């Protein structure tokens, strides 16, 4: 048996538990299954494999069972891919939990609850330590994405909130599943994007950051046009949240100066970052336009944002307009000589140096400080 912190709850005479399971508990104890109609070779997942999927589908599909007694639908590969990307985004930005809402699980074997003291609903839930003893009623895609991504978690503590039922009858399980999944209320994608930087973000610095990210993603002359996925919507490969958080941190400092709430500040910042990334795309032309480079991944883009105050400082020293395209190019030109395209080759220097946001930002700052490579 494994011990799980839990709250015993009751509704209409039915007992269930609000529990905290670790990622490893989920990985060992939960079984995944989909409804099969007895067709030979029926795949448990549907949808084509995405070209840049981070999911090992051969490995994951072996974990998914199928039977005529199951109730879950076929797994949607696109949904798993998007969840894995979201988990990685949360892990990098460290500003949101990836699974904040409870998954709903039923145990096939009896559970035992030991109250912390007489009459208390707080205590320890004892779960049989057998592979597949739990099955998901709601949240199977979230848990499968966790399973697919768990190797990247390392030793990090990760808890999943779960509502756990003790041996629900089959008809009750199916009834609950249908009730939860029969209707989905989804916001229109255009409506989501229109909220960006306004009602959704009350913090002035965050609102400004999202305005800039949106301009970078949508302006036709932006080097990042179409590359950024706004609020999880669109074809972009980079999530907006890590970039917006990086900008927010800068705007909380005096990097740009002036009144951060003013329209003038936002306009200046928008123009600067559009022209800044256009020049970055020119300085590292081969990497920016190549397929085997990581320059347009969140790590690299965040590093370019993180070092931008140094670029702005140099522009101010030269009494140049901060949004002047040519002046920005003149300031960052040492990157072409001292850093070069090969630094971003995914299977080369990028992986060999175990690149992080701060390590790359440090290299970029040093190249600006010592444009000819002089020693300190």
One DSSP character per residue, 251-317 reads HTTTSS-S-TTSHHHHHHHHHHHHHHHHHHHHHTHHHHH-SSB-TTSHHHHHHHHHHHHHHHHHHHH
Whether residue 41 is predicted with pLDDT greater than 50 in this model: the reply is no
Looking at the domain assignment, is residue 376 inside a domain? Answer: no
Backbone angles phi, psi at 307, to 5 degrees: -90, -5
Q: For residues 201 and 286, state if they share a domain.
A: yes
Distances (CA, A) of 256 to 115, 288, 329: 56, 27, 19
Of the residues 181, 206, 229, the one at which a domain ends: 181
* Poorest-pLDDT segment among 48-57, 80-89, 288-297: 48-57
Domain count within the chain: 2
pLDDT band of 293, cuts 50, 70, 90:
very high
Whether residue 304 is predicted with pLDDT greater than 80 in this model: the reply is yes
pLDDT band of 46, cuts 50, 70, 90:
low
Q: For residues 193 and 314, state if they share a domain.
A: yes
With the C-alpha atoms ordered 161, 165, 166, 168, is the resulting torsion angle positive or negative?
A: negative
pLDDT band of 189, cuts 50, 70, 90:
low
Of the residues 155, 181, 207, the one at which a domain ends: 181
User: What are the structure tokens assigned to 147, written together?
Assistant: 């399973």
Task: State the average pLDDT for the chain.
Answer: 83
Q: For residues 128 and 228, state if they share a domain.
A: no
Looking at the domain assignment, is residue 374 inside a domain? Answer: no
Q: For residues 263 and 363, state if they share a domain.
A: yes
pLDDT band of 376, cuts 50, 70, 90:
very low
Q: What percentage of the chain reaches a pLDDT higher than 70?
A: 79
* Poorest-pLDDT segment among 86-90, 304-308, 331-335: 86-90
Of the residues 149, 181, 213, the one at which a domain ends: 181
Domain that includes residue 19, residue range: 2-181
Whether residue 184 is predicted with pLDDT greater than 80 in this model: the reply is no
Q: For residues 291 and 198, state if they share a domain.
A: yes
Whether residue 175 is predicted with pLDDT greater than 80 in this model: the reply is no
Q: For residues 267 and 176, state if they share a domain.
A: no
Mean pLDDT across 219-232:
88
Q: For residues 130 and 38, state if they share a domain.
A: yes
pLDDT higher at 89 or 280: 280
Q: For residues 227 and 119, state if they share a domain.
A: no
Q: For residues 153 and 279, state if they share a domain.
A: no
Max mean pLDDT among 100-109, 239-248, 325-334 falls in 325-334
Q: For residues 113 and 24, state if they share a domain.
A: yes
Q: For residues 229 and 137, state if they share a domain.
A: no
């Amino acid at each position: 048996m494994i011990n799980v912190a839990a709250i015993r709850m009751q509704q209409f005479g039915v007992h269930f538990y609000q529990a905290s399971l670790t990622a490893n508990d989920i990985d060992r104890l939960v079984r995944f299954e989909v409804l099969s109609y007895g067709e030979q070779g029926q795949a448990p997942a549907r949808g084509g494999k995405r070209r840049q999927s981070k999911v090992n589908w051969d490995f994951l599909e072996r974990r998914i069972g199928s039977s005529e007694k199951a109730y879950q639908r076929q797994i949607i590969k696109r949904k798993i891919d998007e969840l894995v990307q979201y988990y990685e985004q949360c892990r990098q930005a460290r500003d949101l939990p990836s699974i904040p809402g409870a998954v709903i699980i039923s145990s096939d074997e009896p559970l035992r609850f030991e109250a912390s003291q007489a009459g208390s609903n707080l205590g320890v839930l004892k779960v049989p330590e057998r592979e597949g003893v739990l099955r998901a009623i709601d949240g199977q895609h979230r848990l499968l994405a966790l399973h697919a991504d768990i190797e990247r978690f390392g030793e990090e503590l990760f808890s999943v909130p779960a509502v756990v039922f003790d041996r629900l009858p089959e008809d009750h399980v199916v009834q609950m599943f249908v009730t939860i999944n029969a209707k989905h209320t989804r916001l229109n994608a255009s409506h989501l994007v229109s909220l960006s930087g306004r009602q959704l973000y009350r913090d002035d610095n965050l609102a400004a950051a999202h305005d800039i990210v949106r301009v970078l993603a949508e302006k036709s002359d932006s080097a990042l046009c179409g590359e950024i996925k706004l609020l999880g919507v669109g074809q972009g490969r980079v999530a907006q949240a890590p970039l917006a958080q990086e900008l927010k941190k800068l705007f909380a400092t005096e990097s740009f100066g002036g009144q951060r709430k003013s329209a003038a500040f936002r306009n200046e910042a928008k123009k600067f970052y559009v022209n800044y990334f256009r020049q970055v795309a020119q300085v590292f032309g081969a990497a920016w336009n190549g397929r085997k480079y990581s320059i347009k991944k969140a790590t690299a883009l965040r590093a370019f944002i993180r070092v931008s105050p140094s670029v702005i400082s140099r522009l101010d020293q030269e009494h140049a307009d901060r949004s002047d395209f040519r002046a920005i190019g003149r300031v960052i030109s040492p990157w072409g000589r001292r850093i070069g395209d090969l630094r971003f080759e995914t299977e080369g220097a990028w992986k060999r140096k175990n690149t992080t946001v701060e390590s790359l930002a440090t290299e970029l700052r040093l190249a600006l400080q010592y444009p000819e490579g002089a020693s300190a």
